[in-house]
Amino acid sequence: MITVSQLGAMILACVVLIAVPGPSVMFVVGRALSHGRNVALLTAVGNALGCYTAGVLVAVGLGPLLERWDLLFQVFKWGGVLFLIWLGIQAVRHAGPVGEPEAGRVEGASSRWKAVRAGALVGFTNPKNLVMFTVIVPQFMNPDAGNMVLQMILLGLVPLSVGLVCDSLWALTAATARGWLTGSAKRMTAVQRAGGVSVIAVGASVAVTG
């Protein structure tokens, strides 16, 4: 299947592509600043699942379909853009001082699911997915090893894992900065608004580059 040296090379390639701040990183950081550590970490989990789901769909043929049918691609793209902008506006509107429970804990299964779902949508619509699963992953596939779709699905676990680690580190870093800012109501409101604006910026960047 794949040797240890090839796996190392694949991990390195994934780190180079994923660690560079893009829509997913900006979104996770924005959620950390607006809502705190746990929401950001759940967002990172959702993002990884969304990216992997997109990769699996690419493996079974959605990638070529999106390339050939521009209308379907535009529906995916603009649906994600509008959702991001809506989330950013909500964060700006509801910015303000928060108590410790809200800052450090996600209340209820519904709230946890919303955080994961939001991250999944961003991950699913991230333009890096097409690059990852049509350029990077295929380089490490072996035609002589059998089922190519299965190979891509299994190898896709590598960028999923790398993305989850990288996004979680960004989330923890941003959440630490947020925790330091909670001592000032004005600064907390400002940083929450900045988080919301950054999410809107993610939507705008996807609109012009996706």
pLDDT in tens, 99-111: 443 444 554 556 7
Tens digits of residue pLDDT in 150-189: 888 888 899 899 989 989 998 998 888 776 665 566 766 7
Residues near 92 by beta carbon (within 8 Å), at least 6 away in sequence: 192, 193, 196, 197, 200
Contact 24, 123 (CB under 8 A): yes
Task: For residue range 19-72, list pLDDT tens digits in order.
Answer: 666 778 878 888 888 888 899 999 999 999 998 998 888 777 755 565 566 676
Q: What is the DSSP letter of 158?
A: H
pTM over 0.75: no
**Any residues with CB less than 8 A from the CB of 75 and at least 6 apart, and which?**
none
